[in-house]
Structure 1
């Protein structure tokens, strides 16, 4: 199994930049897995900015769902580093697609197989993996049911990833703090 590093933190804490900097030090090919979907102009601009800042020689796979299968299809022996950016948006894509009134159990049941698929591909890979996700448990309790369902499902996904990870980092103001 490749070395799995989970990078957690709040919005604009430096998670993605840190993961990309680590990948840039890789001696082989880098596979960048983007999970964002462009639902509006602001998100399209964010995606364009992320694309522009990545090295052109990195291979990019866009996988807003079924990221594990997309990674498995793209992995080659030359790839020595995989960056998954990010679980936060992957979870959002999955939870938002659930029917109205979905429960925490429904969201968790939909999201954890995605996480398990990622971990299964990681287990078969010799690459170093940097998986980015937001820590959403430090803020206020969301005022609406879907927000609470999302927060709880993502928290469970982060726990599953952290348990499997060799390293877990928590980013604060661009600085990595080692958790595990």
Structure 2
């Protein structure tokens, strides 16, 4: 079961995803939390503001969940934990895509993710920010980021069994299992 949860900043998507993972855990799955955020800037310096966000996310989720930090090689991590009794929560595809652009490996890594989705054996919950609802951003890099993330969202949604859009903490089902 692949579930895709997206919405704007502070829309409640991470909290909703964690609730879904808790339900999966109560049904007998082991939860693995895959964090894609990097606590350093591209130049290697510490990103204090991002570190605060990471710590907040860590405090909000159950301490017994296994955490795997994966800023780039997501398909490799998903393959390693692809088990029928696992529930993997990936938070989030937005930062992961930004990391791919910064590391110049977007096409290869995204292709790997899209390849594993149809054959994932456990529960996979993917979280991402819907950033394409606003104005066209200034700057070539930012426009490319919005375009690439939007294309990825379309492909992930197509391959997902369930797609939920979050707004103001409320889930709206866009796609549900038949």
Fold shared per TM-score above 0.5: yes
d(CA) in 2 for partners of 1:172, 1:48: 24
d(CA) in 2 for partners of 1:115, 1:18: 24
Counterpart for residue 152 of structure 2: 157
Structure 1: runs of 5+ lacking an equivalent: 99-109
Counterpart for residue 48 of structure 1: 55
Give runs of ≥4 in structure 1 deviating > 6 Å: none
Counterpart for residue 32 of structure 1: 33
1:6 pairs, out of 1, 4, 7, with: 4
Contact 1:111 1:157 in 2 (8 A): no
d(CA) in 2 for partners of 1:44, 1:95: 20
Counterpart for residue 90 of structure 1: 96
- The number of residue pairs the alignment matches comes to 166
TM normalised by structure 2 equals: 0.86
Mapping for residues 14-163 of structure 1, pairs under 5 Å: 14-26=12-24, 27=27, 28-39=29-40, 40-79=47-86, 81-98=87-104, 110-163=105-158
TM normalised by structure 1 equals: 0.86
Shift of 1:121: 3.2
| TM-align CA RMSD | 1.5
